[in-house]
Structure 1
Amino acid sequence: MKNIGITVMDGPFFSLMPFPAREIHTLSHVRYTPHFSWNDARDENPYRKLADYDRKTRVDRMIRDAARYLPVLLEARYIDSLFEVKTVLVKNEGDDGRPILFERHASLPGCFSVLGGKIDNIYDVIEKLDGEEFLSSQG
Structure 2
Amino acid sequence: MILAFARYYYAAAKDGLLWRVFAHVHPKFKTPDFSLWMQMLFSIILAWSRNLGQLTSLVVFSGAIFNMLTVLAVPLMRVRKPHVIRPYKVWGYPWTIIIATISFLIILSNNFFDDPVTSFIGLGIPLIGGIVYWIFKYYYHPINTN
Which TM-score applies when normalising by structure 1? 0.25
User: Which has a greater percent of strand?
Assistant: 1
User: Which has a greater percent of helix?
Assistant: 2
- Report 1 or 2 for greater relative contact order, CA contacts < 8 Å, sequence distance ≥ 6: 2
Which TM-score applies when normalising by structure 2? 0.24
